[in-house]
Amino acid sequence: MFAMEIYAAVRRFVFIEGNGRREAARVFGLSRDTIAKMCRYSAPPGYVRTKAPKRPKLGPLLPVIDSILETDKTAPPKQRHTAKRIFERLRDEHGFAGGYTVVKDYVRLARTRSREVFVPLAHPPGHAQVDFGECVGVIGGVRMKLHVFCFDLPHSDACFIKAYAAETTEAFLDGHVSAFAFFGGVPLSILYDNLKIAVAKILGGGERRRTQAFTELVSHFLFDDRFGRPGKGNDKGKVEGLVKYSRANFLTPVPHAPSIEALNARLAERCRARQNERAGRHEQTIGERLVADMAAFRELPAAPFEACHKVATKVSSLSLVRYRTNDYSVPTKYGFRDVLAKGFVDEVAIFCDGALIARHARSYARDDFIFEPRHYLALLEQKPGALDQAAPLQGWTLPETLAHLRRLLETRMGKRGKREFIQVLRLTEVFPEAVVIGAALDAIRLGAIGFDAVKQLVIARTENRPARLDLSAYPYLPSLNVKTTSPPIISRSFPGRRHEHVRLCRYPCAAAGFARPSSAAAQIADNPAGIREGRRRGGARRSGSRPIPSTPRRTRTHRPRTTHGRATHPRRPFSGGEKLRHLRLYRHPLAQQTARAGSRPLRICRRPRQHHRPRQQRHGQDACLPGARPRRLPARAVRRLHHGRRPRREPPSWRSNVSMMLMPND
């Protein structure tokens, strides 16, 4: 190709100086055809083909090359054919005898023709685009992958991003709710790609079958949903650019945060700060152009939207509900029941018959167990032996006060103490844990080791009153009024004997006097069966009773020492405020009673109650006769005596012993 200077010199020599083309060819040493072309064109025209070149060797194989390039469109980008690989296949598989250059030129032209050409788009105010991106962050000292929800307004380039631990349905819904709250309105339409969270199936003709959760979202906020072509990210290029921009500017370097909530708070501040910047070739800031978008938005609905994923499931035999590969506990009384699990971003709520029965923090691990120890306390109360091996209680760290209370309960009560400790733990189901711990500490300090004492102290702390039982606060409880008998002469009829009169022996203290009993009280005292039935109905060991203070002598578990066949008991006088505890009947043999022509007196002794003795042993131990060793009554005679029946046969030296317990009632 000749330089432009030769073109200018030849054209000047011919057109300005008036010389001929043959003379110009002789002077410049060029052919007459070249001089004619220079006169025809003011600049070198370049090489121009009048017809396509012929490819006698490659021509029959052009359809093979086109089919290879068409197949590469669906192949992975890193596994597509190069021009060299196409040449090798043509040579080896089809016997191509041509060169590599002709194949390379054709492949280049074919790929250029197949490239997509785009149409510039206009973005009116009030529309949005949504997509998810990925990044890496350090949350709570743990390096993890984060899924970033990106919400972009193409007209103003305003954005909102929020990070989640997983790209799930609840994260998708919560991202929309947060974005609408951030901008204070709902866009007219939102453009999506075909993510599975929103699209259940792509139908023919561009139609989509929405998922249930996405349909509820659209129905609540009433925006129009639009979807791009599958695999065509350029249909929503604005939000695709936001994913790249936010990862390069908001999330670089790798973010460190104590929690995802703290990271999202920082990202929201960055989104607000970006509204003061300019994007692209616009002269106005993002915030100034955002005004037009917000003017086109719809108002937020009055009712809030529940951003959760709902799953209907069933409680297992271990009181566990499975949700997204993890098991969450529920109270044991809901075993084998149908429940509804609602998965939120940060928690899992479980409902049964519309009522909330359990709430747990959300776990994004796999095959994890999330227990609430209080859910299993009711079952452990029935099975206290599993307390130490119960898996739900393994990670439950109890305060030292409760651990000390458990040691005291188990030391004093054994297995029953373990059950009472579980009952103390169940108080935390109703009352705050700090109140229960304080009540347990007070119980240890007072020496009242038991569930009832801790419960009364907890109620007293809750009601802000001293720990006492005021029956006036419980009007629905039946009131009891038990009177004490005075020591007049009591007439009794003993089975198998003649009718006898016995009287109470008055000690010097009797001068103080007791209240004379009523006729009803006397009838009860005369009827042993009635006394026993009263004990059975009222209970012999009622917590509300107030027994007479015990004597200084130590209560023994064996038979007490006797002097001349009689048990030794202190005979100190009764005070006016004391009440009868034991009424013991002493009788001589029949011969002695006949000789004296009278009856032996009835004596009142203050003797500590023997809780650990069987009833028959207590009756046998109380029978004391002067000058004779007390002998225990046969079981048959005692049974007949208690039931008020006449025995069939009396022993020769039958001695009766009646021990009547009068329980006071405050």
Query: By percentage, how much of the chain surpasses pLDDT 90?
Result: 55
Confidence at residue 44, expressed as pLDDT on a 0 to 100 scale: 84
Is residue 481 included in any domain, yes or no? no
Please give the pLDDT value at position 515. 40
- Mean pLDDT, residues 391-398 taken together: 90
Mean pLDDT lowest for which of 205-209, 233-237, 362-366, 578-582?
578-582
- Write the CB contacts of 568 (distance below 8 Å, at least 6 apart in sequence): 560, 561, 562
pLDDT tens sequence across 156-192: 999 999 999 999 999 999 999 999 999 999 999 999 9
87-120 pLDDT, tens digit each: 999 999 999 999 999 999 999 999 998 888 888 8
Beta bridge partners of 441: none
Q: What pLDDT digit, counting tens, does each position of 28-46 carry?
A: 999 999 999 899 888 888 7
Among the residue ranges 67-71, 137-141, 147-151, 572-576, the one predicted with the least confidence is 572-576
In a domain, 483, yes or no: no
Q: What value does the mean pLDDT take over residues 194-200?
A: 92
- pLDDT at res. 203: 86
> Which of 351, 370, 389 lies at the terminal end of a domain, its last residue?
370
Q: Could you tell me whether strands 208-210 and 320-323 are parallel, antiparallel, or unpaired per DSSP bridges?
A: unpaired
Tell me: pLDDT of 132 over 80.
Answer: yes
In a domain, 178, yes or no: yes
Q: Based on the structure, what is the number of domains in the chain?
A: 6
Residue 629 lies in a domain: yes
Query: In the prediction, which pLDDT does 124 show?
Result: 94
- My answer on whether 494 and 410 are in the same domain is no
- Measured in degrees and rounded to the nearest 5, phi and psi for residue 640 equal -65, -40
Q: Are residues 333 and 232 in the same domain?
A: no
- My answer on whether 281 and 314 are in the same domain is no
pLDDT of residue 158: 95
486 Cβ contact partners less than 8 Å away, ≥ 6 residues apart:
513, 514, 515, 516, 517
Instruction: Give the tens place of pLDDT for each residue, 401-436.
Output: 999 999 999 998 888 999 999 999 999 999 999 999
CA distance 150 to 154: 12
Q: What is the mean pLDDT of the chain?
A: 79
pLDDT recorded at residue 473: 57
Q: Which residue has the higher pLDDT, 122 or 485?
A: 122
pLDDT above 50 (res 617): no
Does the pLDDT value for residue 240 go beyond 90?
yes
CA–CA dist 240, 233 (Å, integer): 7
Q: How many CB atoms lie within 10 A of CB 540?
A: 14
* 427 and 281 in a common domain: no
For position 281, which CATH number holds? 3.30.420.10
For residue 42 the two structure tokens come to: 């003011």
Q: Considering 333, 353, 370, which residue would you say is the last residue of a domain?
A: 370
Q: What is the pLDDT of residues 71-86, one digit of tens each?
A: 999 999 999 999 999 9
Q: Using a pLDDT cut of 70, give the percent of the chain over it.
A: 70
Q: Quick one: pLDDT at residue 280?
A: 84
Q: What is the mean pLDDT of residues 382-407?
A: 92
> Does residue 46 sit within a domain?
no
Do 142 and 254 sit in the same domain of this protein? yes
Mean pLDDT for 538-565 is: 44
Residue 32 shares a structural domain with residue 142: no
Average pLDDT over residues 10-16: 91
pLDDT value at residue 485: 60
Note whether 523 and 585 are same-domain residues: yes
**CA distances from residue 473 to 93, 332, 435, 439, 625 in whole angstroms, order as listed:** 102, 33, 22, 21, 49
**Domain boundaries, position 292:** 127-296
Cβ neighbours for 480, distance < 8 A, ≥ 6 positions apart:
538, 665
Residues 137 and 271 in one domain: yes
Kindly tell me if the per-residue pLDDT of 653 is higher than 50.
no
Are 79 and 228 found together in one domain? no
Question: For strand 189-192 and strand 127-139, is the pairing parallel, antiparallel, or unpaired?
Answer: parallel
Residue 603 has pLDDT above 50, yes or no: no
pLDDT at 294 over 50: yes
Q: pLDDT at position 479, please?
A: 66
Q: What is the mean pLDDT of residues 534-538?
A: 43
